[in-house]
Amino acid sequence: MVDGFRVDTDMSEQRAPARRSRGTGRVRIEDVARAAEVSAQTVSRFLRHPDQVGPAASERIAAAISRVGYVPNLIAGSLASNRSRVVAIIVPTLANPVHAQPVEGLGDALRADGYQVLVGTTDFSQEVEEALVRAFVGRRVDGIVITGGRLSAASRTVLKAAAIPVVQLWELPRIPFDMAVGNSNIDIGACVARHFAERGYRRLAVIGHVQKSDTRSADRVTGFLAEAQRHGLPAPLVMEVDRPMLIRDASDLVAALRREEVRAVFVTSAQLSVVLLLNARSAGIAVPGELAIAGLESDLSTVVSPTLTAVRVPAYELGLQAGRLLLRRMAGEKVAQKRIDTGFEFNVREST
């Protein structure tokens, strides 16, 4: 007896043969038991309730786990406890750094409580999103964060059946599926159009993402067009591009804007707005003298010349707030405020 608990050191105690799984070749709990010279039951007890195993045996087991590279079967454990300690987040892409920031915020919110984060990317495909929802729910995640305010019927069915907390990110649906953290992308577009109108620009354009599933970009375009109309401006030129975060040369867009005699343009993508500004300068276009440019904030917005007028969405804060909501729900609390508006900042700089 050690500290009031039995420490299994008798090698004659019955235990399963110490060998790797024949089917997978993975290290098993019996391999740890053999290396630590204890029973498999003692190893199992150490993994589940370490305070019930004496210090000498605990030290040997911990050393054996490290030596043989054993990882507990968390799926089996989650089936028994109904908790996986894993939360999933679904984002459109990681090619755009802005979508990595909520992942960081979510991880920082959850880490102290022992949760890990799984990440899936959809490439703006509804079908991929539905497959990810099924895959994550099938792996018994304790909660899920999904970019976007509009879920397909198939995703809704799976999530409703799973009965786990869900946070929608980047948008604020009037009635969220469960909870939502975001801001009004329509208001973002309207804010930029209003700024252009107040500066006296009349011939406007907006560049958005062609993918219909990118509802954030679509709402920004909608808000921009509505506000321009409210100010009595000519209908802005609407230009759509595919995969704006990957465009490295926007010279064709610059040429089209010049041809259409556009005086101010709003770009709904952070990367593309910087590329467009640089290409305009390379083409000899004075910014903002001939063409004013506004976009979404990035690390380059204040580095380029002229500095870029841009909307900053607190992306890290989105993930942080989502994580805090999930922790409360996973702890069994009721959440009264199911929609959190993080707002946005409009930083007016030299480009307008």
> Taking the domains of the chain in order of start, what are their residue ranges?
1-72, 83-183+316-344, 185-312
Round to whole Å and give the CA distance between 289 and 351.
9
CB atoms inside a 10 Å sphere around CB 300: 17
User: Is residue 69 scored above 90 in pLDDT?
Assistant: no
Round to whole Å and give the CA distance between 311 and 71.
45
Q: Specify the pLDDT at position 300.
A: 94
Round to whole Å and give the CA distance between 279 and 226.
28
Higher-confidence residue of 220 and 210: namely 220
H/E stretch holding 121 reads strand 116-121
Geometric angle at alpha carbon 222, from 216 and 226, rounded to 5°: 150
Residue 182 is classified by DSSP as E
- Give percent helix, percent strand, percent coil of the chain, each to the nearest 5: 45, 15, 40
Query: Which tokens in the block code for residue 102?
Result: 């909520």
Same-fold call for 83-183+316-344 versus 185-312:
yes
Q: Which CATH superfamily is domain 83-183+316-344 in?
A: Response regulator (3.40.50.2300)
User: Is residue 205 scored above 50 in pLDDT?
Assistant: yes
CB atoms inside a 10 Å sphere around CB 329: 20
Q: Specify the pLDDT at position 79.
A: 52
| Segment among 81-85, 283-287, 327-331 with least mean pLDDT | 81-85
pLDDT category, 97, cuts 50, 70, 90? Answer: confident
Beta bridge partners of 146: 90, 168
**CA 76 distance to own-chain centroid:** 27
CATH class of 185-312: alpha beta
1-72 classified as CATH 1.10.10.10:
no
155-181 pLDDT, tens per residue?
A: 999 999 889 999 999 999 999 999 999
Contact 102, 182 (CB under 8 A): no
H-assigned helices in 151-269: 153-162, 185-198, 215-230, 251-259
Query: How many Å from the N-terminal Cα to the C-terminal Cα in the chain?
Result: 77
Round to whole Å and give the CA distance between 211 and 241.
8
